[in-house]
Structures are given as structure tokens and as C-alpha cells.
Structure 1
């Protein structure tokens, strides 16, 4: 089975961590909620909004959406490899290295908590 590929990836970021990386110009190195790239070995991403919604529902229910942003990442601008790996019944993209600030091509608000 060949792995899917995408031109862009989506990453749910804690606003404070993204803004700190952006403001200092240091590559973004958070993996997921409260966990760093060093903790996890990769940055968790999603391929599409359906995956984002599922991740929000499973792992971010107690986090106000105003504390989060959705990073849109240009895959061609990454220095690190992207691997598509199974997690449960889905395949998620994982970036095995930090996200350069220049690779983030858009920062979006997330849908409100339900």
C-alpha cells in the first residue's frame, strides 16, 4: 500500500507555543498538547479537517479553542521527513523534525468547542 501525500499538512498548536516560536524566529518544536518534539520524536499533524475535528474531539475537549490555532504547513518547505503512520483506524502524517517558521503558510482559528 502506498502512503498518501499532501502539499499541505494541518497541525493543532497551542497559541502560546506557536506565537513564541514565530516571535523569536525559532522553528516550532511542539508535538501535541503539552508534549514537545523531544518527548514524542515527531510533530503530530492531520491530513484534512475531518482528522482535525477527530483529534479535537478526542484530545482537546477541555482546551478553549481561543487557546489553539491551526497551522497550515507547506510540505515542500520542510527540512524533516514526513511519514504517514497508522493510529487506530486512520493514517496520520508525522513530521520527524521541527517546523520552520517559513513553512507555516497560514494560521487559522479553530471551530468552537461543542
Structure 2
């Protein structure tokens, strides 16, 4: 489908981000490993994902991911409220990460998207 975004986002702890940088790939957080895929969010879904699944946590990072680089390993599947979410059925390679940085919020409380340097 052409109306799907080309970029998705993954929220990582500082430890997970460091492991991705050092190892060149990320197999997934405990919830990802339990579910059998890496949970990703679109830009429109990101703030709600952070508020729902990472409330009260600090030292988080957001990675922007080029979905085209992941090919058929990405599946769009129905999740929260019937929305389609991108799920990655493979390890996340660092080469598919186009930008990342500490999780920051705008004045309206929304999560700011990382910008490539």
C-alpha cells in the first residue's frame, strides 16, 4: 500500500540503544522477544505508544527506521484499537536506522522525532 509511511520508530532504553550501536543489530526488547517480532510505531502512533508502554521511564531513546531497507520482514498488523502497526519479524540492523536520539517532548507533550545529523 502506498499510503503507509516509509519510516517507523522504535523506543529503546539507553542500554538497548548502546547494544544496537555496539553490536550493529537489536534482537528486541523482552516484550518483542515474547511476541516474536519487534514492535514499531508510526510517527502518528509514537506518543501514545510511549505514554502507554513507557510511562515513568527515563533515559529512553527513539530510533527512526527506514522500512524499505527491511523489505518483507515488516508486516503491517492490526493492534491497539484496530490500528495497523508495523512489526519487524527480524533483528533490527543498525544500517536501517536513519536517525536516533534521546526521547524528547515538545511543548504540547508529543514525542519529537529524531532528525538525521
TM-score (norm 1): 0.79
Structure 1: tracts of 5 or more residues without a match: none
Aligned residues of 2:32 and 2:39 also touching (Cα < 8 A):
no
Task: Kindly report structure 1 stretches of 4+ aligned residues shifted beyond 3 Å.
Answer: none
Q: Which secondary structure state, in structure 2, belongs to the residue aligned with residue 30 of structure 1? A: coil
Measure the CA separation in 2 of the matches of 1:79 and 1:29: 17
Aligned residues of 2:73 and 2:89 also touching (Cα < 8 A):
yes
Please state how far the C-alpha of 1:80 moved relative to its aligned partner: 5.2
Aligned residues of 1:8 and 1:75 also touching (Cα < 8 A):
yes
Size of the aligned set, in residue pairs, is: 105
Name the residue aligned to 1:62.
Answer: 56
Q: Does 1:24 align with 2:23?
A: yes
* One of 103, 106, 111 as aligned partner of 2:96: 103
Measure the CA separation in 1 of the matches of 2:56 and 2:35: 21
Aligned residues of 2:8 and 2:41 also touching (Cα < 8 A):
yes
Please state how far the C-alpha of 1:38 moved relative to its aligned partner: 3.1
Please state how far the C-alpha of 1:22 moved relative to its aligned partner: 1.1
Structure 2: tracts of 5 or more residues without a match: 110-117
Aligned residues of 1:15 and 1:68 also touching (Cα < 8 A):
yes
Q: Does 1:81 align with 2:73?
A: yes
